Amino acid sequence: MPKYVDIAQDIEQWIKDQDLLQGTKLANITTLADQYAVSKNTILKTLQVLEERGVIYQVQGSGIFVRRNKRRGYISLIQNKGFSDDLQMADEASVVITLASVPATKEIALNLQCALESSVYLVERVHSIRGQVFCFEQSYYTKELVPFLSQAIVEESIFDYLEKGLQLQIGFSDKYLKIIPAKDQIAKHLALQPKDPVLFIEEVYYTTNGKPFDFSKNYYHPEYSQFFIQS
């Protein structure tokens, strides 16, 4: 992990430990550089990471301030950059239900820009937090970019494997949200009644070259899921 990401993680943890309020002024760049014994340039990169993560905001000519209006228990809808949100998600558990190769339907082929009927990976997982299931996930991976997945891999962080194992450069994502009535299978996984409303989020993840590699359909429990977006 690059030094500036390490420092960002350290500062974020420190803000949490100290329970600093939104608007609290932090040390300036020179002081932070001295404190961590790194260049100002490294601190500038650190601040960029923290700003992207919604941990701080910078006011020109005035300083660096804590941004901390996140409410507890809300799931971020913005792609995490730099490092995972382990701390917030400490109580999260995922169970793999399915790992299989399936032929691409029209919908999958369109989203993954692969040939109809070509073989893609399907990973189905159920995510829970403090023992409560809040999400049923169906993810499809194109074999052109993800030629191999195993039970061991999908039980850990798939994105970690893609980045570190496959050296995939993860670029951007499109996410689509709407409320839909739960179909029988979905309702069952989420312990809901059929036709109960669920938040349905479709996601397409692209490499930095603009190639889609992951198309996911996520079904969220209406009571146990809430989300935030910092922009």
Site string for a second copy, 17-56 (x = CB under 8 A): -----xx------------------------------x--
Task: Using CB under 8 A, pick the residue from 42, 142, 216, 225 that binds a second copy.
Answer: 225
Stretch that binds a second copy, among 1-9, 130-138, 149-157, 177-185 (CB under 8 A): 177-185
CB of 119 to a second copy, least distance (A): 23
Per rule CB under 8 A, is residue 72 in the interface with a second copy? Answer: no
C-alpha distances in Å from residue 200, one per residue of 137, 173, 176: 10, 16, 8
Tokens of 64: 């660096």
Stretch that binds a second copy, among 73-81, 83-91, 154-162, 182-190 (CB under 8 A): 73-81
Per rule CB under 8 A, is residue 74 in the interface with a second copy? Answer: yes
Length of the chain: 231
Per rule CB under 8 A, is residue 57 in the interface with a second copy? Answer: yes
CA–CA separation, 105 and 93 (whole Å):
30
Instruction: Decide: helix, strand or coil at residue 136.
Output: strand
Using an 8 Å Cβ cutoff, are 221 and 189 in contact? no
- Measured at the CA of 64, the angle between CA 58 and CA 67, to 5 degrees, comes to 75
Tokens of 212: 């889609």
Using an 8 Å Cβ cutoff, are 183 and 155 in contact? no
CB of 184 to a second copy, least distance (A): 18
23 sits in the region (left: phi over 0; alpha: psi -120 to 50; else beta) called left
Q: In 10 A of CB 131, how many CB atoms?
A: 7
Per rule CB under 8 A, is residue 132 in the interface with a second copy? Answer: no
CB of 65 to a second copy, least distance (A): 6
Sites of contact with a second copy (CB under 8 A): 22-23, 54, 57, 59-60, 62, 65, 67, 69-71, 74, 77-79, 171-179, 197, 199, 204, 206, 208-210, 222-223, 225-231
